[in-house]
Structure formats: structure tokens, C-alpha cells
Amino acid sequence: MLARFNSLNFFKPLYVLFFMIFALTGIVWGQGVTFPLETIMIEQQTGKLLSLRVEVATTPQEQQQGLMFRQSMPYDQGMIFFFNQPKIVSMWMRNTYIPLDMLFIDKQGLIIAIQARVIPQSDNLIVSPKPAAAVLEINGGASDKFGIQVGDRVLHPFFATAKP
């Protein structure tokens, strides 16, 4: 009696292998983007300078991924999104597992709004009240902890506000 050919069983090891390769490289889960890490300074209205390490998201692919799928982030780190032109920015927390503070920044580096402790995994839109040239995302509650307020200034060459 001839053995019946079952294509599913024949190709199953190949399916598993390809899935594992894609999953490990992040292609399946959208985690294939790596971000450059830079230091930014925030000049507070009190005169204090705060230093943060941030991942920089400038390309559409980087901005789309953002901090999605992260389980944690060091407390003094964040991610900054730079935009070519100031615009009303809409963001959400889909597939973002950590609470964040979102700081909306104008083209001069001035923080124009802070949305604190944004709820993880929410599809609710967080919208800048005015056109923003950048958004800085930090751990939820960090703006309170560090004393960051609307009116503080982000110092970075993008804003032409870098200190020598």
C-alpha cells in the first residue's frame, strides 16, 4: 500500500523554521528597527539643566514603531520624535506596554504641552494642542519626578538650542 503524501506534514518544519527566523529578527513583530542614542538637555525655568539619553526616531518606520513592544525603559531615558515641519501631532499607545509622559515641543525647543502618565495599550489619540516640531516620550511620571514643566526648553541641534 502506498503511503499517502501529506504536504502539510512535509513542509511543517520549513514553516516553523521561517517563522522562527522572522520572529527572532523582529520582522513579524515590527521590532526590526534600531534607533540612534543621543543625549539631550532640558533647561528648566529654575535654571537647572537635566540630561536625558534618548533614542531618536526620525524616519517614518522609526516613528511608527516608537516604543512599541518594550517591557521597560531606564528611568532617565526616552525617545524623541523629530518632524520636518511643525504640525498637530496625534499619537497613541497601541502595543506600548509601559506608561509614558509625552512632551510636545515647538520648533524653538520650548515644551508646549505635557500629557502625563498616558495609559499603556490604548488606542485613544493624544493630540498636541499646538503645532509641534518634536515629541519626547519618557517614563510615566518622570516629568513630575524631574520637575519638567511647560515652558522648559529642550536643548538639541535640531532646535538650534544646543549649549556649547
Lowest-pLDDT choice from 47-51, 71-75, 138-142: 71-75
Quickly state the pLDDT bin for 57 (edges 50, 70, 90): confident
Residue 70: predicted pLDDT: 75
- 37-159 belongs to CATH 3.40.1160.10: no
- What does the alpha-carbon distance between residue 154 and residue 134 come to, in Å, rounded to a whole number? 10
Residue 39: predicted pLDDT: 93
Share of the chain above pLDDT 90, in %: 48
Instruction: Look at residue 2 and give its three-state secondary structure.
Output: coil
Residue spans per domain, the chain: 1-32, 37-159
Asked if 110 and 151 touch (Cβ cutoff 8 Å), the reply is yes
Strand partners, 40: 52
* Position 5 pLDDT exceeds 80: no
What are the percentages of helix, strand and coil residues in the chain, rounded to 5? 20, 35, 45
pLDDT averaged over the chain? 80
When mean pLDDT is compared over 5-19, 94-108, 130-144, 150-164, the highest value belongs to: 130-144
